[in-house]
């Protein structure tokens, strides 16, 4: 997917003006977020479980090469093929080659964010292979020609009416269909595709190194259809999606699913151990695992950002984020939106282009509070901000005026007499323009504030003067 | 924080870090802090060299400028003794949590950071965790006939972990009716320069907050951080609303003032 991370402000403005989306985004809080809160409250030792989950990820990422090798060996043993892709282009090429070599006509996809990095469905269509998304949300946005709006709920921004209208145009069904009827319609359309598909592409929620198992967490059953009907199964994963053992997997599933939807367990948890064996009736003849870097090494190499690789893609930080709920998913301009997206999207797709994303946060910390592995997202945003301002030349992008402004701020704060004088001066200069001690309109950059809020003038008698007056002889420190 | 022992001798004297925003925009808050502490028999010093903790530049990515101002802060407060009280969760978090981020490669500076951050307490944290949870109610018997709703400031709650002290104090005020707000934990959209750089987003967040506050019917919003207070107050003023936004120190001051006629200063 081509990043449009430089369009954040424009995208945010458009989304704020869209009442349908604003309404839909409410469900992110009242549904997902609230359900997560209840699930967390109902789970004994929840916080300790998050600590353990984090410790597992910490250990795995610190020994990533070791576990990737173990995983590769196991999958090999199980009769599957593993391919390491440095970037999206390499991954795409490998998958297209597999499809072409087997004369594949139709590919069914289950949900995979990594495949969104590659725009895989588009790439397939471009070479004449039919590629159909089978997760209902993904299916809806594929029909709409859009990209996912949310990590686990890709079509969260679409209203029921919009979906009904879209289905109606395609199949001639009643545009007033209920959600149940719409699901049945989609099911009907998809069923036929499932039956004739000769290859599937799925994501990977976890890969278990000790057994070479690929784990899919779904609620619709489409993942299971994808991994049992077609003759070829290609699973695609980011290189961080690995856990050492089955025991670790148990812990990760607990915290992932509760954080994502508030369920204790999802309707389906599917484990794949390679292609069909001789004694088995179902399953693909061939199994491929494509492990993708695509910028993840950049995160791994930076000790301040490494913990972004602990992410389980549960979406809890999106649901908790008051900024995401206002600006929506597309404003972030790349595959991953919301707080975790504000960290990984600019790093993976280019910090200069995505320089707004780390700043597009009030640093409220709601994301860290809900993260199943306690990723300190605010802290990473702070480090990225510093990189944009003080980092290597290829990352830097800050205007001269802002630089000058902070130099002046520094000067004014290095001595209390200057600080005091600055306040007095602002009071004197501002007084003719203030009404009842407040400004209604100020020039840029403060116009950003006064567009919707009054700003008080600095006090004519600041606290330090008042303090002196109340006790003329008291002091502490000197100057 | 909770690991601070509660049963150490009651401090007789504290250093006030009033914060740049209170000093310049809401000096009444600082006066209220001093009033309350003095009524509790605690002498308050104001180290005059103080300016800002450095947070605005730090949050904006300008760590060179921020660390210079932070060093100045450390110069001023490391030269003093005893608890440092700050009426702000955000500035308290800057010193306690983020100075360590800035100076992690500088062992000498880290030593000063450790010394100073061990001494710093947010105002309500000091009242409840250091003086003791019933200290204020026992000594001063707070009373205020008002209705209020409490907004949970993000840094106070999530950075400093001061998540029950303010509400506990408010609950102890006789006559004060606390009306719960929908989504009290959701950010008001301030975020420092975020409010200026991402004005539209910040405004949308503010509107949600102010709608939730208005729906309570309370005569005022009480909060613990001056940045958030200025933000909400600026929005209310623009709306032409009668609802007030007050710092918790101001409320505690009014509720413990002997001369109830001599209170209620507004900015």
pLDDT per residue over A439-477, tens digit each?
999 999 999 999 999 999 999 999 999 999 987 554 444
pLDDT tens for B175-198 read: 999 999 999 999 999 999 999 999
> In which residue are the tokens 């019933």 written?
B134
Q: What is the pLDDT of residue A251?
A: 97
Does B207 share its domain with B177? yes
Q: For the complex shown, is ipTM > 0.90? A: yes
Helix (H) / strand (E) element for A308: namely none
Contact between A363 and B197 using a beta-carbon 8 Å cutoff: no
- How far apart are the C-alpha atoms of B236 and B210, rounded to whole Å? 7
Distance of alpha carbon A339 from the chain centroid: 7
Does B49 share its domain with B98? yes
Does B103 share its domain with B73? yes
Residue B24 domain flag: yes
Coil, helix or strand at residue A335: coil
In chain B, the residue whose alpha carbon lies closest to the alpha carbon of A451 is: B199
User: So what CATH class is A46-161+191-297?
Assistant: alpha beta
Closest-CA residue to B194 (of B90, B52, B71, B51): B90
CATH of the domain at B149: 3.40.50.1860
Closest-CA residue to B247 (of B239, B266, B257): B266
User: Confidence class of residue B79 from pLDDT cuts 50, 70 and 90?
Assistant: very high
Does B158 share its domain with B253? yes
Residue B6 domain flag: no
- How far apart are the C-alpha atoms of B22 and B41, rounded to whole Å? 23
Contact A209, A74 (CB under 8 A): yes
* A444 close contact with B: CB closer than 8 A: no
Domain parsing of chain A, residue ranges: 46-161+191-297, 162-190, 423-470
Does B140 share its domain with B217? yes
Contact between A12 and B185 using a beta-carbon 8 Å cutoff: no
End-to-end CA distance of chain A: give it in Å, rounded. Answer: 58
Contact A261, A219 (CB under 8 A): yes
Residue B20 domain flag: yes
Does the model's pTM come out above 0.90? Answer: yes
Contact A359, A332 (CB under 8 A): no
pLDDT tens for B88-131 read: 999 999 999 999 999 999 999 999 999 999 999 999 999 999 99
| b/e sequence A459-479, b meaning 16+ C-beta within 10 Å | beebbbebbeeeeeeeebbee
Q: What is the pLDDT along chain A (479 residues), one digit of tens a residue?
A: 899 999 999 999 999 999 999 999 999 999 999 999 999 999 999 999 999 999 999 999 999 999 999 999 999 999 999 999 999 999 999 999 999 999 999 999 999 999 999 999 999 999 999 999 999 999 999 999 999 999 999 999 999 999 999 999 988 888 999 999 999 999 998 999 999 999 999 999 999 999 999 999 999 999 999 999 999 999 999 999 999 999 999 999 999 999 999 999 999 999 999 999 999 988 999 999 999 999 999 999 999 999 999 999 999 999 999 999 999 999 999 999 999 999 999 999 899 999 999 999 999 999 999 999 999 999 999 999 999 999 999 999 999 999 999 999 999 999 999 999 999 999 999 999 999 999 999 999 999 999 999 999 999 999 999 999 987 554 444 33
Does B144 share its domain with B254? yes
Residues in Cβ contact with A392 at an 8 Å cutoff, skipping those fewer than 6 apart: none
Does B118 share its domain with B178? no
Does B182 share its domain with B215? yes
Helix (H) / strand (E) element for A101: namely helix A88-101
Contact A230, A195 (CB under 8 A): no
How far away is chain B from the Cα of A361, in angstroms, using its nearest Cα?
7
Give one DSSP letter per residue of chain B, joined into a string: -TTS-TTSPPPSEEEE---HHHHHH-HHHHHHHHHHHHHTT-EEE-BTT----SHHHHHTT-HHHHHHHHHHHHHHHHTS-S-EEES-HHHHHIIIIIHHHHTTT-HHHHHHHHHHHHHEEEHHHIIIIIS-TTHHHHHH--EEEEEEEE---HIIIIIS---SHHHHHHHTSEEEEE-PPSSTTS--S-TTTHHHHTHHHHHHHHHHHHHHHHTTT-SEEEES-HHHHHHHHHHHHHHT---EEEEHHHHHHHHH-S-GGG-----
DSSP code, position A70: H
Contact between A362 and B194 using a beta-carbon 8 Å cutoff: yes
- How many angstroms separate the Cα of A424 from the Cα of each of A50, A458, A460, A462, B34? 50, 7, 7, 8, 23
Tokens in use for B242?
A: 């009668």
Domain end (from B129, B148, B178): B129
| b/e sequence B205-232, b meaning 16+ C-beta within 10 Å | bbbbbbebbbebebebbbbbbbbbbbbb
- How far apart are the C-alpha atoms of A25 and A279, rounded to whole Å? 48
Contact A372, A314 (CB under 8 A): yes
Closest-CA residue to A24 (of A330, A387, A392, A433): A330
| Number of domains chain B contains | 2
Tokens in use for A420?
A: 């005091």
Does B166 share its domain with B237? yes
Domain end (from B129, B158, B175): B129
In chain A, the residue whose alpha carbon lies closest to the alpha carbon of B60 is: A385
Residue B5 domain flag: no
Does B158 share its domain with B231? yes
Host domain of residue B63 = 13-129
Tokens in use for B181?
A: 């707000």
How far away is chain A from the Cα of B191, in angstroms, using its nearest Cα?
4
Coil, helix or strand at residue A338: helix
Residues in Cβ contact with A428 at an 8 Å cutoff, skipping those fewer than 6 apart: none
* A473 close contact with B: CB closer than 8 A: no
Contact between A476 and B48 using a beta-carbon 8 Å cutoff: yes
Does B160 share its domain with B235? yes
End-to-end CA distance of chain B: give it in Å, rounded. Answer: 32
φ, ψ (nearest 5 deg) of residue A173: -70, 165
Which residues in chain A are contacts of B235 at CB distance < 8 A? Answer: 452-453
Out of B101, B197, B267, name the one closest to residue A456 (CB).
B267
Contact A416, A464 (CB under 8 A): yes
- How far apart are the C-alpha atoms of A398 and A396, rounded to whole Å? 6
| Interface probe with A: pick from B61, B156, B204, B230, most Cβ of A within 10 Å | B61
Give one DSSP letter per residue of A136-201, joined into a string: HHHHHHHHHT---SSSS-TTTTS-HHHHHHHHHHHH---TT--HHHHHHHHHHHHHHHHHH--EEE
- How many angstroms separate the Cα of A158 from the Cα of each of A3, A33, A166, A443? 22, 18, 10, 38
**Does the CA dihedral B214-B251-B235-A431 come out positive or negative?**
positive
Residue B70 domain flag: yes
Quickly list H helices, A231-365: 246-260, 296-301, 316-320, 322-327, 338-349
Contact between A409 and B230 using a beta-carbon 8 Å cutoff: no
- How many angstroms separate the Cα of B130 from the Cα of each of A190, A472, B226, B248? 64, 29, 22, 17
CB-side exposure of A424: number of CA atoms within 13 Å? 9
* A180 close contact with B: CB closer than 8 A: no
- How far apart are the C-alpha atoms of A194 and A191, rounded to whole Å? 5
Which residues are paired to A455 by β-bridges? A439
- How far apart are the C-alpha atoms of B29 and B224, rounded to whole Å? 10
Contact between B48 and A446 using a beta-carbon 8 Å cutoff: no
Contact between B48 and A406 using a beta-carbon 8 Å cutoff: no
Does B190 share its domain with B253? yes
Domain end (from B129, B160, B182): B129
Contact A375, A384 (CB under 8 A): no
Closest-CA residue to A118 (of A189, A101, A107): A107
């Amino acid at each position: 997917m081509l990043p449009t991370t430089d369009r954040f402000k424009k995208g945010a403005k458009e989304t704020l003006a869209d009442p349908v989306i604003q309404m839909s985004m409410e469900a992110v809080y009242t549904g997902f977020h609230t359900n997560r809160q209840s699930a967390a409250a109902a789970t004994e030792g929840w916080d300790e479980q998050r600590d353990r989950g984090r410790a597992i990820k910490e250990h795995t990422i610190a020994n990533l090469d070791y576990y990737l090798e173990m995983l590769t060996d196991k999958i090999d043993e199980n009769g599957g093929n593993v391919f390491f892709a440095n970037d999206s282009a390499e991954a795409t090429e490998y998958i297209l080659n597999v499809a072409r070599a087997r004369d594949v006509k139709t590919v069914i996809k289950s949900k995979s964010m990594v495949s969104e990095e590659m725009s895989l469905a588009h790439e397939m269509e471009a070479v004449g292979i039919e590629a159909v998304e089978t997760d209902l949300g993904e299916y809806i946005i594929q029909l709409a020609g859009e990209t996912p709006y949310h990590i686990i709920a890709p079509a969260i921004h679409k209203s029921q009416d919009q979906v009904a209208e879209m289905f109606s145009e395609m199949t001639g069904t009643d545009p007033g269909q209920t959600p149940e009827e719409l699901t049945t319609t989609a099911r009907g359309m998809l069923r036929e595709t499932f039956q004739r598909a000769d290859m599937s592409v799925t994501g990977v929620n976890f890969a278990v190194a000790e057994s070479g198992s690929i784990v899919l967490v779904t609620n619709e059953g489409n993942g299971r259809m994808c991994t049992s009907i077609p003759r070829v199964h290609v699973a695609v994963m980011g290189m961080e999606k690995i856990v050492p053992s089955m025991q670790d997997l148990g812990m990760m599933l607990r915290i992932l699913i509760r954080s994502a939807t508030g369920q204790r367990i999802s309707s389906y948890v599917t484990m794949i151990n390679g292609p069909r064996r001789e004694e088995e009736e179902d399953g693909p003849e061939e199994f491929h695992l494509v492990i993708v870097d695509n910028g993840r090494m950049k995160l791994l190499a930076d000790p301040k950002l490494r913990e972004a690789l602990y992410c389980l893609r549960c979406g809890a930080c999106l649901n908790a984020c008051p900024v995401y709920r206002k600006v929506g998913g597309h404003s972030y301009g790349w595959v991953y939106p919301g707080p975790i997206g504000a960290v990984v999207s600019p790093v993976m797709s280019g910090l200069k282009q995505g320089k707004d994303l780390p700043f597009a946060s009030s640093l409220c910390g709601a994301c860290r509070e809900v993260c199943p592995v306690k990723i300190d997202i605010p802290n990473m945003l702070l480090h990225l901000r510093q990189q944009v301002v003080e980092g290597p030349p290829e990352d830097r992008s800050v205007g001269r005026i802002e630089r000058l402004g902070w130099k002046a701020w520094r000067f004014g704060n290095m001595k209390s007499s200057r600080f005091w004088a600055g306040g007095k001066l602002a009071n004197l200069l501002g007084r003719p323009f203030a009404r009842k001690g407040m400004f209604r309109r100020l020039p840029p950059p403060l116009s950003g504030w006064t567009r919707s809020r009054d700003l008080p003038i600095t006090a004519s008698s600041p606290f330090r003067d008042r303090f002196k007056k109340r006790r003329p002889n008291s002091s502490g420190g000197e100057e | 924080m909770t690991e601070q022992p509660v049963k150490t001798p009651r401090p007789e004297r504290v250093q006030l870090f009033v914060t740049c925003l209170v000093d310049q925009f809401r000096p009444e808050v600082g006066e209220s802090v001093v009033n309350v502490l003095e009524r509790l028999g605690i002498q308050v010093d104001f180290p005059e060299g103080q300016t800002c903790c450095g947070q605005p530049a730090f949050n904006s990515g300008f760590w060179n400028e921020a660390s210079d101002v932070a060093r100045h802060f450390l110069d001023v407060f490391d030269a003093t003794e005893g608890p440092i009280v700050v009426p702000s969760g955000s500035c308290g978090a800057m010193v306690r949590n983020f100075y360590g981020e800035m100076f992690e490669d500088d062992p000498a500076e880290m030593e000063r950071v450790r010394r100073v951050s061990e001494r710093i307490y947010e105002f309500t944290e000091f009242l409840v965790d250091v003086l003791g949870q019933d200290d204020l109610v026992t000594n001063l018997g707070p009373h205020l006939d008002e209705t209020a709703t409490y907004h949970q400031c993000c840094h106070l709650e999530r950075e400093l972990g001061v998540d029950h002290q303010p509400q506990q104090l408010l609950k102890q005020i006789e006559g004060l009716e606390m009306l719960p707000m929908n989504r009290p934990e959701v950010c008001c959209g301030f975020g420092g320069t975020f409010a200026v750089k991402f004005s539209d987003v910040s405004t949308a967040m503010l509107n949600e907050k102010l709608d939730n506050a208005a729906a309570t019917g309370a005569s005022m919003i009480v909060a613990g951080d001056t940045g958030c207070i200025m933000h909400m107050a600026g929005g209310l003023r623009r709306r032409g609303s009668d609802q007030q936004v007050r710092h918790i120190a101001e409320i505690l001051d009014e509720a413990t003032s002997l001369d109830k006629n001599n209170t209620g200063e507004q900015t």
